A and B are shown apart, each in its own frame.
Chain A
Amino acid sequence: EPEVTQTPSHQVTQMGQEVILRCVPISNHLYFYWYRQILGQKVEFLVSFYNNEISEKSEIFDDQFSVERPDGSNFTLKIRSTKLEDSAMYFCASSEVRLAGNTGELFFGEGSRLTVL
C-alpha cells in the first residue's frame, strides 16, 4: 500500500536554529498538507500546497514557516528560527486531486517530532 513518508522521525534543536522537515507524499497525489500537534492537543492545520504554491494557510503559519517542493517527490517544511513553542509533532499529508468525485481522503505520514531546547 502506498504511504506518506517523513524524515526525520525525531529532531532535537536549539532555539533559534533552522529546521527542515521532509515528506515524500504518495506519488500520484498532487495536494499536500502540513499539520502540527502539540503534545496532548489537537491536530492543527498549518498549510496546504498545490501546483507549486500555497493554496491556504492558517494563522499559525507565519513568516517563520515556509514550504517547498524542491523536486518531483519531496515536500518540505522549514522553520527559520525555532522557538520553544514550536516543539510538536509535525504531520505531512497528501490527497488525490480528481476532476470529479474528489472526496478529500487524507493520507498521513507517521510524523516528525521536533523538540526545541
Chain B
Amino acid sequence: NAGVTQTPKFQVLKTGQSMTLQCAQDMNHEYMSWYRQDPGMGLRLIHYSVGAGITDQGEVPNGYNVSRSTTEDFPLRLLSAAPSQTSVYFCASSRGSSGGAYEQFFGPGTRLTVL
C-alpha cells in the first residue's frame, strides 16, 4: 500500500492564481481531512469528509473548496491564492466510524508559497 499520497510536494503561486492540491489513499478509509500547518500554530483543519459525497467545513475553510466523488480521492482547491495561504498542507485519512478507528494517517505534505 502506498498509504496517503499528495501532489505536488512543492508549489509556488502568484496572488490570484488557482490550483488544486491532490490527495489519494489506497487503504479504503472512510474519513479524509485537509490541514494546514503554520509555524507555531499547529495543525488547523480546513475541510473534512466522512465518506464519498459528504464534506464539511473545519476551522479555517475560507478560500478553499473540496469534493469527495470517490473514496480514494480528496482534492483541495485554492480558488484565488493569497499570501496568507502560504503554508504546509497535510492530507490525512482514517478508517472512520464503521472501522472503529480514528487514527489519522498523514500524507507527506505539500509546501505552498504564494507570492
Bind each other: no
| Partner-A contacts on B (CB < 8 A) | none
| Partner-B contacts on A (CB < 8 A) | none
